[in-house]
Amino acid sequence: MTLAMQRSFEELGAPLHQVPFCILDLETTGGSPADSAITEIGAVKYQGGELVGTFQTLVNPGMPIPPFITILTGITHAMVVEAPPIDEALPAFLEFLGDAVIVGHNVRFDLSFLNAAAMGLGYGRLPNRSVDTLGLARRLIRREVRNFKLETLAAHFRSPEKPTHRALDDAQATAWVLHRLLERAGTMGVTALEDLLQLPTARGSAHYAKLRLTDHLPRRPGVYLFRDRQGEVFYVGKAKNLRTRVRSYFYGDNRRSVATMLAELESIDFRVCATELEAEVTELRLIHAHRPRHNRRSKPPKASHWVKVTDERFPRLSLVRTQKENGLAYLGPFRSRRSAELVQTALWDAVPVRRCTTRPGSREAACAFAQLGVARCPCDGTMTEDEYQQVVEQLLSGITEDPALLLDPLAAKMTQLAGQERYEEAAWARDRYRALARSIRRRRAWQSMIQAGVVWAVDDEGNGAVIDHGRLVGSWSEGGSPPLLHPEDDRPWPETPPSVAAAEEAHLVWSWMTRPGTRLLDAFGPLGLPVHRIPDPVLLS
């Protein structure tokens, strides 16, 4: 037998006045459930500040009660000898508890005994959420009281019930303290269960007062924008639950970057999204639009870079910042020149394509690359176009059709270097392999989406998306309807994304489309990949 799962209270977003609280206290024979047992259970249940139930019972612990416990609590062996044992008392208490949130003063102590008893009887651990008035007091009134004992807090809040080390009396005193603490928390913007559960870990700084800026945030997926005093967006983030995610910055996040952001924070905007995919794409677009200074890792580059196969008598590889129609093939775009150079080097390692830029036939002797045998360069005029065409065909076929033509030589080089125990060089070859494979994979995905045109798809959770040539143009959540969409004009599309922003969005969309459980509903054109797969070598660890 196991206990039912704790209800979510609308994913913990329920207002506090709607949440049932069971305030409890236990008396025991000692300090650990390993060698002690429960002697008394006392509890009161409140909802909306109103008492809805009371529970009290002595429990036969099945062991002697130590004299110092009797002196402390007044509970003697004679009082519990005819009391129900825990296997009779606990089921009755669990029925009283229901799905209420458990509250106690140093509640971990009480839960340790309750969970030990529940597991011993085959119920499993209690699934109920818990709130500790000790932790709340430390967070809310740490400068008002000399200590955080229940007796001190009850006196501070002038509780009509005095703690007596008897379970029901202490539970009633704890309930009074809880409600006074909830009043304090309410002035700080704590109005829902999730806020209360997080409150004890909240950062004790001046920035916590800014928690009120989150009051208007909904508990829905979307994107949030942090603005400073000048109204400038300095951070953009996404969330499954906007309110929960943004408020988490105030709850125990000690990163220096978070403290800096909270110091600058003046207002919060948000965009509600129908699905997580829409939130990811919206976040990406807003980052590229605003270039927020605190989105350092995802901050868009100032320029895009491509590796281009030039269209000339003897084609070569060139790094360019624009994609035009004067190239035989492109790979990219890349966020940095260094990333583009890594792929260029991988292609040089895979195919002996020309490296020098000297006019063919203008040198008396071959260039250094040709002399080393790493490239077939026509600079000395001894190579014909027909001979060089074999190199070009291998290069273009590897990019557009069969990646193994380019990747297998890199894998062989990794194996050779590793066999020679040149592990650092083997790691460099591995990195070049991965960079080239990734760029070819993304190029393939882009061209597949361009060929398909407009695509309607839905995932296993019922969330759908409309993708127009690699760009998200519509979405709907479970139970919604796909939006209507008119096809765009027949303008030519580039063979790779026109910018880093377009490439990153296309990658997000493609990753979602190819995720297990996502299925295609309709498309304007065929959606598929080339027959030849991208090989996965063994030496990639």
Paired sense of beta strands 222-227 and 233-239, if any: antiparallel
219 by Cβ neighbours in 10 Å (0-12 / 13-18 / 19+) ranks as middle
- The full DSSP string for 257-283 is HHHHHHHH--EEEEEE-SSHHHHHHHH
The burial class, CB within 10 Å (0-12 / 13-18 / 19+), for 70 is middle
- Name the phi and psi angles at 508, rounded to 5: -60, -45
Element (DSSP H or E) covering residue 426:
helix 423-452
HEC letters along 90-108: HHHHHHHHCCCEEEECCHH
Number of C-alpha atoms within 13 angstroms, CB side, residue 352? 14
Q: Alpha-carbon distance 191 to 412, whole Å?
A: 62
Q: Which of 23, 4, 173, 40 is nearest to 113 (CA)?
A: 40
CA distance 347 to 413: 13
Residues labelled as active-site residues: 165
Alpha helix (H) residue ranges in 189-247: 193-198, 242-247
Residue 24's beta-bridge partner residues? 43
